[in-house]
Structure 1
């Protein structure tokens, strides 16, 4: 059976660098940092006092006051990003029949789900007299799949609907799943992405306990420094990224503007450690190779790789070793780590960074890695890492890497629309 072509026709985001796609892209190209002091709770007794928070988000722009009470912040971010993507794609669901709606789905990811609601409700319970006075929306607010359900209800869509959870690879897994379902003919259009609202006391303290977070409290904006000799951990981030993923003929028939072609995806597993990546990047290399094979491309076709690169000592190096093993020292491939600006959006990272790799094709521009001043000498010398400033470059194909606790890896590849 001939494979159906799959394209991306809409983008939406809420993240530490902007509350829409244009703001996000412009700030990223200018090399701005989204990091600053934590405002969501008192972090004075924590080892880390900063994060990359979403700024100026107003839930009342998307929901009634009554509905706001029903949804955790991760779901609110999901709806906000999706609304932008739907408008950007020029979608109008009015007038569709049931058969057509059954071919439109939602696959939404999150690593944490409604963690802020979970923490708040348990704190109220244990600080009280023990009487269980839980919010009636407690369960639907915290379950990870609820964002996908809310999005489908918002637009009255009947197609495939579920969530993917693979830690920090979650939303890249979601968009690859969407690609596969469309290619197989099980859907014509899928809203896919991920959201995270995990800047909470338990999350920050938990990552502190595992020595994963940077503690550069005197200079938050320079704390995320992938590949740098003095990197000391990642910076927690939050937000959402949404993509409208669509079958090519379906997009053409409705006159959609196409951002890029979704070429393929690959997923694998390190099978090595609870939280650490394999020292030689075994799972990362397998996932990248699988994505290239799925896309029917060679490593020499890729012009830009948005690295997972969280600014942790072991993780950065294992990924770069994996890249070096696949790309065999091809210095035409530029690598950058945009988490140096956004921080690590955990389950939302893959979708937000997919947006960047797609926009890199659209604008023929590669965003840089900021804050890195002295590259770790253990970094393979054959790799070409873009540091400091964005550059113009001819780009036909881009690669987006994401990896998660548990050894999960996911790699997606996008191409210039011919």
Structure 2
């Protein structure tokens, strides 16, 4: 045969775009380069189906023809476990995958009005004041600022001790002799600033007020409302080997996700996502130029970048951590309805740690007593970088002793058990103004 020219397409030269659909199977409002996903370790099954053979008998050997049912596509990949970044929307780039995995999002904008309570709560005394919220709280975990009057009086005279206990890796805050003057900035923990506008009743020594401070970012929690579960439109493109002006475009609609998070010391943490979606025939079209500027680079897991690793209220030396939303994603077909659906979700968390002293924490006793406890890992220190994975109701499986580099270790795993709907777990992605 004649030798054919060989210009094979490079397998890694693929672009994947993803966005939440306006309605299940209806596609998004329109994919653009800004919807590009920065990913790696891609496994792609463009067509998966159930084969149904025709049942005929015949007077000779041989196969019967078959038809394909429930045609679907699958796509799995890894994306970086990163915060929501600085500026921009305040929403992490991996948001579509969490929402298509059955989670709901609650967002707090990186603004003074959103991160600082509108009024102070009086716990004792007769003094009263109002204030404007001037500078946003820049912390990663919620805090409460306590204002204790030490010198009574009105504007320019009254002085306070402003305090807040340590939270996570953030040390306690304590400033004494802070004078409150109307029209003058008054500092709170985490860079938050209020400006007192009026002092209605002069303060007396011993008056105490609290002001709640909420970090900016997005909190994700699981939802059992299947009608409210979001779905994805995805578009995978590869250059065409014969027409360099076109790309092969593989579109997937109605995508639903299974999702896991993994982190290991001295490595980049990541989400592992598997999408099941409706199959659509590929077409030739114009390639959409990807734009990855909204995707922050990940931070390596380690002492400097992973400030909190706490199990059952105890700080631990962590080698690996994991989270699995536990989604059961099935492609369901009935007359009048078909598509990928989240049938169930049973979340779990894992950690590999240095075995601690039993006088500090006895994980075997916690396991056999069937206790519920805290699992919390914060990766990233600064606002915009941090991601916090947590549950308050982690129930341990039997601990597994082992070794790593000849060190005595425990492999710990357990399920997150909700007390009420949506209380299994939460994942917070910090944002910065």
Q: TM-score range by the shorter chain?
A: under 0.3
Q: Which has the higher helix share?
A: 1
Q: Which has the higher strand share?
A: 2
TM-score, structure 1 normalization: 0.26
Task: Work out which structure has the larger RCO, using CA pairs closer than 8 Å and 6 or more positions apart in sequence.
Answer: 1
TM-score, structure 2 normalization: 0.25
User: Larger Cα Rg: Structure 1 or Structure 2?
Assistant: 2
